[in-house]
Chain A
Amino acid sequence: MGRTIPSANQYLIQEQESFSRFRRALRRSDQLALDELFAAARKHAAALSYASHALPFEVALLSMLLEEHKEVMRLRQLIEAQSHQENG
């Protein structure tokens, strides 16, 4: 039983490797941030696979954005809670 198409995880690893020249030319701090973006995409590998999108990198970008937005929401809630505490 072989698979014709690479799994979502394999695909993301390949995609990340294809950016290795781009990554190399980045500053160390930016490299770490880029790694985190790809890690964010890998968190949604199951959904990426299920989506069966013809251009999976679009789904990977959306996954990165999703994690970024979750972080924005978390920070927003934190700030709101803090200002609530200060005002209340």
Chain B
Amino acid sequence: MKLPDIPKRIVYLDHAATTPTDARVVEAMLPYFTENFGNPSGLYATAREGADALSGARERIAKILNCGPSEIIFTGGGTESDNLALFGVARKYGANPKWGKHIITSQIEHHAVLLPTEVLKKEGFEITEVGVNSDGEVSVDAVIAAIKKETVLISIMYANNEVGTIEPIAEIGRALAKWKKENGRGPTEPPFFHTDACQAAGALSLDIAQLHVDLMTLNGSKIYGPKGVGLLYCRRGVGLLPHIVGGGQENRMRSGTENVPAIVGLACALELVSEHRDAENARLAELRDYLWREIQARVPKVVLNGHPSNRLPNNLNFTVLDIEGEAALLYLDEYGIAISTGSACTSTSLDPSHVILAMGKPYEYAHGSLRFTLGHSTTREDIDHVLTVLPPVVALLRSISPINLSLDQKQDDIAMRGAFVTDGTPHWMQKSSK
């Protein structure tokens, strides 16, 4: 076995994990570290500079979201915003016997949504996780059918971070509005609709009026903004119980001195991606389609994960049968290519991707799944480097693999249940067999 002799080239294709911060964003942030560093709550000059920057950023973002500035709560990132939406609405309305303790979400949500629901379950909430079809799409009808009179919150992501499938957010929002009307619920009464838009923000419209959402999570680190900053849009009249309390900043919904440089950076980053969205989407989709077309031509036995067309323009996720994703990832890294995988081996829990399993794909599809996510810096030369490296790496790993699956093999044929390391069955297969 010999590694192919191909020169290394640094190719970053993991933009769904995080993006580099745009130089213009960094520049906009810089004055707020050392010059205009004042605490926006203060009354003297440098504090007023901070307060002005803060309200300026809020207004600029409100313009992009087509909402009121007071409807924006700045937070420490996407996970915090998701947590605030889930815990905030659930604990505010769940405690009131007039409403109830039921939440609807999907099986393919990010852990920042799924794990709060686990916590809320222990607090007596009932959680309904609606499934997805084989392309990863949530059905509007399934969401609406799951609503009960106790439902206080529906949380469905705008676009999936792993497979890139875009969810019908506006349709769910409209259908919920219709349900509320028919059931005598006002717009400021539950159930409310939250969407995690972190992955979608770079590529899709964030116009609240079109999306019909009550709450929306955004963050900086996926849109060439700084890490550690995010926001929760929260429609006027929708109540939240804050979980970070103290000085009462952000209208008491998120205490703590505002991270002014990061918030300024977030506003700048959102403006930049909104401005260049259409042209960049077209450029990325073309590169992505070229990559997938050529991979199919050069690598046997590959399967697309996610929707063939209704997906983020920068996302390609596919499974290479018979090889394990982490091994492939590390070999690609040796040639300078950075990607990610849904293999159990890269997750801290050693669980395979819950998204790929939710789409009804066999376990081995998750273990051999590779995600390439393109971004601003991606060029045709980068894609060509991948196309040079990937086929020999796959061939090499297949040469040392003892298995040879066929594309139309069924789950039960492959899963030799009694053959695991300890002659038992791993826990995630037991869950599914219940």
Asked if A and B bind, the verdict is no
Interface positions of A (Cβ within 8 A of B)? none
